[in-house]
């Protein structure tokens, strides 16, 4: 049986792809509804509230070009991620993030150094981005 948050991820990816290419205003409403339902499904299996899950489904709010040393911090641990990415680019060696935990309660950071809410949001965004990329690769 497929886990509900994986179903929510796939629905979100399908809705975002549909919203990207939609031309019909009725389809636009349908894809927005699918996106909202996927957020509700993700929130049902999560300690995060629906508003937090919907917030993690955010579109880009700004675009800009930044030098390596002037990139804004996007999330906790961004500096470490940037170091890994830069090292991979410099060496030409591909790097893949480890697969995230499949259960929401396993995704919370141990030790309580970061609030669970922020940790879940960052991990949810990563999961959703990975699902989007998988959907794009499937064609």
d(CA 124, CA 10): 13
* pLDDT tens per residue across span 16-44: 889 888 888 899 999 999 999 998 888 88
Predicted TM-score (pTM) of this structure = 0.44
Which pLDDT belongs to residue 116?
A: 47
Handedness of CA 79, 82, 84, 86 (dihedral sign): negative
Share of the chain above pLDDT 70, in %: 77
Query: Which residue would you say has higher pLDDT here, 33 or 130?
Result: 33
**pLDDT score of 95 more than 50:** yes
* Cβ within 8 Å of residue 89, ≥6 positions away: none
Residue with tokens 């809705």: 15
What sign does the dihedral 46-51-55-57 (CA atoms) show? Answer: positive
More confident call, 63 vs 117: 63
């Amino acid at each position: 049986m497929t886990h509900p948050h994986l179903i929510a991820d796939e629905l979100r990816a399908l809705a975002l792809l549909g919203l990207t290419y939609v031309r019909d205003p009725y389809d636009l409403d349908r894809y927005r509804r699918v996106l909202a339902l996927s957020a509700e499904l993700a929130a049902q299996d999560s300690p995060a509230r629906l508003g937090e899950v919907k917030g993690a489904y955010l579109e880009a709010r700004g675009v800009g070009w930044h030098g390596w040393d002037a990139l804004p911090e996007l999330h906790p641990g961004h500096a470490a991620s940037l170091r890994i990415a830069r090292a991979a680019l410099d060496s030409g060696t591909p790097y893949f993030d480890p697969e995230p935990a499949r259960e929401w309660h396993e995704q919370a950071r141990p030790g309580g150094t970061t609030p669970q809410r922020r940790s879940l949001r960052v991990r949810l965004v990563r999961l959703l981005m990975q699902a989007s990329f998988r959907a794009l690769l499937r064609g």
